[in-house]
Amino acid sequence: MTGGFVFSEKPIELEAGKGAYLYGADGTEYLDFGASYAVASIGHSHPAVTEAVRGQIGQLTYVQASYPVGVRTDLYEKLAALGPGDVDNVWLCNSGTEANEAAMKFARSATGRSKIVATKRGFHGRTLGALAMTWKDKYKKPFEPLAGGIEFVPYGDGDALAEAVDEETAAVFLEPVQGEGGIHPASAEYLRAAREATDDTGAALVFDEIQTGVGRTGSLWACDGVGVEPDILTAAKGIANGLPLGTTLVNDRIAEDAGDHGSTFSGGPVVCAAANATLETVVDEDVPGNAAQVGEYLRGELEAAVEAHDLPVREIRGVGLMIGIEVKRGANRVLKNLALREQVLALPAGRTVVRLLPPLTIDEAHADQFVDSFVEVLG
Ligand SMILES: *Cc1c(COP(=O)(O)O)cnc(C)c1O
């Protein structure tokens, strides 16, 4: 076996990126409406992030997290200020799955309980704890036994959730919009029901905002948009615009008895510099506002195109720039044709959903370009 063996590679070699575009080794320009799973949140090779990383790597590349460093203290302060309500204690790590592992540990430690309620179709990562809360058998079966004590409930059913949560429940894990599971937004009532059920029993409410966070749904956090505050919020993906950073934000109740946890690379100065530059851009340039506005425009144009050209589309779902297009034929064929014939990149979410997670800085012209290509491929 030579080279990588886990990922199947796509037949496009990439060399550079700028804003909403990626460039192939042969010079071909691709419109990137996947942002590599929402990671390039403010666009590829954003100059503010590049400059911050260049400066930091030359000054201090790494020092263990037990020595304070200005750039990390800045990030703690930013995340504490930006976290919803009282969710202002910050743990830093290197990925989404690690952020969820930490959330599981903190919730179990703080409540002294072990049971966790998660949702059907949910995705929380691929390490043995986070994987246990992930729904799809394909991801889990070959690796069992996983962490125990997980109960699954149908997503969106407040009564079923309330029934599953009891005095033994440490935490309820929810994505405010299910991403990997096909782009299914939760209603505000569902998230309120989850808050109520966890308040009634003393369980921790965890929002996995790894895909929905950092402005994706039109507010900084998806839960801000519906006004429901969790006890724990996890984020990663787009938070450092391409450098590996995850974070677990917790309120005081959880922080007070979170237990012992650690990670060597936690909060390395270079990734912190990238995250600071990303978050400053997100806030200063009202990136969530742009995602809300361009997202609404894009969904409107897609609906209109489906109608006008009678395209084989069952449903368009989403919030902000987190959009799922449920197609009648396989999503993978649509994605392949988009990439190879139209030079437009997007993502699947299951077999039938074309998932759009473009950089949050796109404008209406980018949205038009995507819709034209989509019509070309499906028409
Ligand atoms: C991607 C994702 C994860 C896992 O993040 P990694 O950085 O790949 O470990 C967890 N939860 C959600 C909702 C995700 O979208």
pLDDT digits (tens, 9 = 90+) for 307-339: 999 999 999 999 999 999 999 989 999 999 999
Is the per-residue pLDDT at 1 higher than 50? Answer: no
Cα distance between residue 23 and residue 4, in whole Å: 22
211 lines ligand 1 (CB under 6 A): yes
Q: What's the mean pLDDT in 339-344?
A: 97
**Mean pLDDT on 245-265:** 97
Q: Is residue 180 lining ligand 1, measured as CB closer than 6 Å?
A: yes
pLDDT given at position 6: 81
The DSSP string of 34-88 is SHHHHT-TT-BT-HHHHHHHHHHHHH-----TTS--HHHHHHHHHHHHHSSTT--
**Which residues have C-beta within 8 Å of that of residue 286, sequence separation ≥ 6?**
none
- The verdict on whether residue 208 carries a ligand-binding annotation is yes
**Among 166, 151, 78, residue whose Cα is nearest residue 120:** 151
> Which of 8-22, 211-225, 332-346 shows the lowest mean pLDDT across its residues?
8-22
Dist. CA 79–CA 279, nearest whole Å: 9
According to DSSP, residue 27 is labeled -
Ligand 1, atom 11: closest residue by C-alpha: 124
pLDDT score for 293? 98
Residue 2 — pLDDT band, cuts 50, 70, 90? low
Predicted pLDDT at 302: 98
Burial 123-146 (b: 16+ CB within 10 A, else e): bbbebebbbbbbbeeeebeeeeeb
How far is it, in rounded angstroms, from Cα 139 to Cα 123?
10
Give, for ligand 1, the residue of 123, 133, 214 to mutate: max count of ligand atoms closer than 8 Å to Cβ.
Answer: 123
Kindly report the backbone phi and psi dihedral angles of residue 326, in degrees, each rounded to the nearest multiple of 5, phi listed first.
-80, 110
Average pLDDT over residues 192-215: 98
Structure tokens at 282: 């997100």
245 alpha carbon – ligand 1 mean position (Å): 11
**Do residues 23 and 16 make contact, with C-beta atoms less than 8 angstroms apart?**
yes
Q: Does the pLDDT of residue 41 top 80, yes or no?
A: yes
Q: Which amino acid is at 129?
A: G
Ligand 1: nearest atom to the Cα of 97: 9
pLDDT band at 4 (very low <50, low <70, confident <90, very high): confident
Residue 120, pLDDT > 90, answer yes
* Residue 347 to residue 320: CA distance in whole angstroms: 16
- Measured CA to CA in angstroms, residue 87 lies from 75, 204, 248, 254 at distances of 15, 12, 10, 9
Average pLDDT over residues 58-69: 96
Alpha helices (H) in 83-187, listed in sequence order: 96-111, 137-140, 158-164
pLDDT of 85 > 60? The answer is yes
Instruction: Quote the ligand 1 centre to 89 CA distance (angstroms).
Output: 21
Q: Which domains does the chain have, with CATH numbers?
A: 3-46+286-378 (3.90.1150.10), 48-284 (3.40.640.10)
Check pocket membership of 155 for ligand 1, CB cut-off 6 A.
no
Instruction: Give residue 310 CA to ligand 1 midpoint distance, Å.
Output: 35
What pLDDT was estimated at residue 329?
86
pLDDT at position 248: 98
- The average confidence (pLDDT) of the chain is 97
> Is residue 224 within 6 Å of ligand 1 at its C-beta?
no
Q: Is the CB of 247 under 6 A from ligand 1?
A: no
Residue nearest to atom 5 of ligand 1 (CA): 96
What is the arithmetic mean of pLDDT over 198-223? Answer: 98
d(CA 67, CA 98): 22
CA–CA separation, 78 and 54 (whole Å) = 21
Say if residue 8's pLDDT is above 90.
Answer: no
Q: Please report, rounded to a whole number, the percentage of residues in the chain having pLDDT higher than 70.
A: 99
Report the atom number in ligand 1 closest to the C-alpha of 180: 15
N-term to C-term CA, the chain? 41
